[in-house]
Structure 1
Amino acid sequence: KIRAAPPFPFPGIQRSWWVCLLLLLLLLLHHQRHLWLCVGMKVLLTGGAGFVGGHTCEVLLKRGDEVVLLDNVNDYYDQRLKEHTLDILRSVPTGKLTEYLIDLRDLDAVTKVFEEHKFDVICHLAAQAGVRHSIQHAISNVQTNILATVHLLELSRKHNVPNFVMASSSSVYGKSSTPPFSEDQLCNKPISPYAATKRSCELFAHTYHHLYNQNVTCLRFFTVYGPRGRPDMAAYKFIDRIYHDRAIDKYGDGSAIREFTYISDIVDGVIAAIDNPRPYEIVNLGGGATHTLNELISTIEKHCGKKALINQMPDQPGDVPLTSADQKRAQAILNFHPKVSLDDGIRQTVHWYLMYQKLNKGLTNGV
């Protein structure tokens, strides 16, 4: 016998319309992240007064997201630069910015933030940076980088935050001699405390993914530079010293190779990771080309219109001879394609630096 079909559960709605509604619902569920982008996400962003954090926050606000910014605005470098970044963020007319002056090592303080807000994503860009600084301050480096990251991972787990994006570093590759560096390479021989802390944070992230199915993307940055950059980084430091007719310290013969990455390219990668949650990924973000230290100096000389005074120094412990990023994974999962060449990036950085000098009446950072 042929059984009659069961009655349609909503007789007032034609079957074809019901099927269309069901398909639409499935489509919306499949593209949930696009719904986030339409209504704006709520992002916890650490290190928002800093270099990468400030630029990332600016992009999030301009596209209409709500950003809860955590930073301790420490004195690792001139706090006026951090206040300059915060002033820019406060002036963005779109999105919503909430600021907390917090040390991420203070678990009680960070816990209160999670109790006051429900986040769609954690973007953890705060760290105690600097290879040479970490050699002199290993204990504080461990506390600031590892402990703070574990605090955030644990609170993210407890509060069911669906996506966690964190900054790592190309320094985890150590003295690798097999360029370009692939995310699948074994990274078990760091040569600085900073590199060791960054690799430790990646391992903790994997642990939380394994135990709690937490979505985490670790982004390995390759030598970031650009406007509002850290004064202890080579590009800013060399521009500053050449501008003020002061000698730059050149470590080694200048043949060390770096993959310099302009800040807007890095931010593109960070935003893509925010918008595309992954179960657990480590992803390289580099500038797409390598250059020697001597090439960096000559490019800065070109755009400053001055020759550098060179103070020749021996190679420094903790410095790696080469960085070079394999970016096939970044291209595949984040559609990441760096756009800014070193020449154009240095040109834009020098232009910003000159404007910043006028703003600060000839400020020099003394680095």
Structure 2
Amino acid sequence: MKSLITGCAGFIGSHLAEKLLQEGHKVIGIDCFTDYYPRSIKENNIKNILDHENFTFIEKDILNITQFPEVDYVFHQAAQAGVRASWGKTFETYTLNNILATQKLLEYYKNRNIRKFVFASSSSIYGNVNKLPIHEEAPKSPFSPYGVTKLAAEDLCSLYYMNYGTPTVSLRYFTVYGPRQRPDMGINKFAHAALDGGVIKVYGDGSQTRDFTYISDVVWANLLAAESDVVGESFNIGGGSRISVNDLIGLISGVAGKDMQVKYIEVQKGDVLDTYADVTKAKKMIGYMPWVGIEDGVKKYVESIIHQ
């Protein structure tokens, strides 16, 4: 099997590339090293697979590519990340990297004989919800420009499936964490602060909750979606580990064995109050269930930082 992974040097993309190589796939990875966080971090993410005989790396912007490789599977992980950075002048970057790049890939592969186009969507498409857990049929009311672009990209996947039969599946990730997590993410900041003795900044009062999903569960969900016969569907991919920010800090503090200093600051625009995924549909249709709970996941993550 031959697979294309966009955003392959990122957090999720690099883990997915490693897993597919282990499964015997030939993997072509595309990444343009956007400056959202340091290039050196992304280079480190893929250092162990660059010389793999079945891995080919292409350093290019999707929007500047005229011909994509012929593959069996497309895993579209590339995106401009970050809720808080998506306001104002930078919104254009989000429209280019999240909407137009997705449309270009879909347009290229619409008439090609691919087995599956797996799109990395986001729980941000839901916005603030009144009922938890969140089912896939819940209203889509993004609370940030980032969420708007992810919903638009997911809608494009649905349109290409309905009009051209492109075998798309969208996976709505709920707060993914684990080794190689982006430096701007909460668990990353909290864990490093605990180990280094720094002060943790918490937006709001810390009572907001998140459904945290460990990276290995997300990688597994991608493989399940790709290998299933299901097309034209969207699935919640959550970890079943809804926890408040305050309780998360306590958990990390316990694992690290250190007390943590917390500074509460004002709520940031675009941040939702709560997320919690109903994964019943994913369980029934593609066989997905999260395996790593928040306690085990945090322990694995903190230990990975210690042994870096």
SS of the aligned residue for 1:88 comes to coil
Mapping of residues 39-58 of structure 1, within 5 Å: 41-58=1-18
SS of the aligned residue for 1:87 comes to coil
Matched, 1:262 2:237: no
Residue 91 of structure 1 and its aligned partner are, at CA, apart by 5.6
Paired with 2:306 and 2:48, the residues of 1 have a C-alpha distance of: 17
**Match for residue 103 of structure 1 among 61, 72, 95:** 61
SS of the aligned residue for 1:90 comes to coil
SS of the aligned residue for 2:49 comes to helix
In terms of fraction of residues, the more helix-rich structure is 1
Matched, 1:177 2:130: yes
Alignment-derived partner of residue 221 in structure 1: 173
Write out per-residue CA displacement over residues 101-158 of structure 1, whole angstroms, 9 at most, x where no aligned residue. Answer: 011122xx2x33x2xx321111000111100011242111111100100010001114
Paired with 2:133 and 2:289, the residues of 1 have a C-alpha distance of: 16
Could you tell which deviates more after superposition, 79-88 or 142-151? 79-88
Alignment-derived partner of residue 167 in structure 1: 120
Amino acid at match of 1:57: A
Alignment-derived partner of residue 17 in structure 1: none
Please tell me whether the aligned partners of residues 217 and 277 of structure 1 are also in contact (alpha carbons under 8 angstroms). Answer: no
Residue 277 of structure 1 and its aligned partner are, at CA, apart by 4.2
Q: How many residues align?
A: 307
Task: Answer 1 or 2: higher relative contact order, Cα 8 Å, separation at least 6.
Answer: 2
Paired with 1:263 and 1:205, the residues of 2 have a C-alpha distance of: 23
Please tell me whether the aligned partners of residues 216 and 277 of structure 1 are also in contact (alpha carbons under 8 angstroms). Answer: no
Paired with 2:126 and 2:264, the residues of 1 have a C-alpha distance of: 26
Residue 75 of structure 1 and its aligned partner are, at CA, apart by 2.4
Alignment-derived partner of residue 190 in structure 1: 142
Write out per-residue CA displacement over residues 187-214 of structure 1, whole angstroms, 9 at most, x where no aligned residue. Answer: 1x21101000010011111111111011
**Match for residue 157 of structure 1 among 107, 110, 114:** 110
Matched, 1:211 2:160: no
Instruction: Show structure 2 runs of 5+ residues with no match.
Output: none
Instruction: Show structure 1 runs of 5+ residues with no match.
Output: 1-40, 357-367
Please tell me whether the aligned partners of residues 209 and 245 of structure 2 are also in contact (alpha carbons under 8 angstroms). Answer: yes
Cα 1:348/1:91, change in 2 over 3 Å: farther
Paired with 1:230 and 1:344, the residues of 2 have a C-alpha distance of: 20
Paired with 1:226 and 1:91, the residues of 2 have a C-alpha distance of: 24
Alignment-derived partner of residue 246 in structure 2: 294
How high is the sequence identity, in percent, across the aligned residues? 38
Write out per-residue CA displacement over residues 213-246 of structure 1, whole angstroms, 9 at most, x where no aligned residue. Answer: 1111000000000011111110111112222222
Cα 1:140/1:196, change in 2 over 3 Å: same
Cα 1:277/1:43, change in 2 over 3 Å: farther
SS of the aligned residue for 2:130 comes to coil
Alignment-derived partner of residue 140 in structure 1: 93
Write out per-residue CA displacement over residues 275-298 of structure 1, whole angstroms, 9 at most, x where no aligned residue. Answer: 124220000000013100011111
Mapping of residues 1-367 of structure 1, within 5 Å: 41-90=1-50, 96-106=54-64, 109=65, 111-112=66-67, 114=68, 117-136=69-88, 137-187=90-140, 189-356=141-308
Paired with 1:312 and 1:167, the residues of 2 have a C-alpha distance of: 32
Write out per-residue CA displacement over residues 77-114 of structure 1, whole angstroms, 9 at most, x where no aligned residue. Answer: 1222211111122365xx610000011122xx2x33x2
Please tell me whether the aligned partners of residues 221 and 284 of structure 1 are also in contact (alpha carbons under 8 angstroms). Answer: yes
TM-score where L is the length of structure 2: 0.96
Residue 354 of structure 1 and its aligned partner are, at CA, apart by 1.6
Amino acid at match of 1:49: A
Please tell me whether the aligned partners of residues 111 and 164 of structure 2 are also in contact (alpha carbons under 8 angstroms). Answer: no
Residue 312 of structure 1 and its aligned partner are, at CA, apart by 1.2
Please tell me whether the aligned partners of residues 224 and 261 of structure 1 are also in contact (alpha carbons under 8 angstroms). Answer: yes
Please tell me whether the aligned partners of residues 124 and 167 of structure 1 are also in contact (alpha carbons under 8 angstroms). Answer: yes
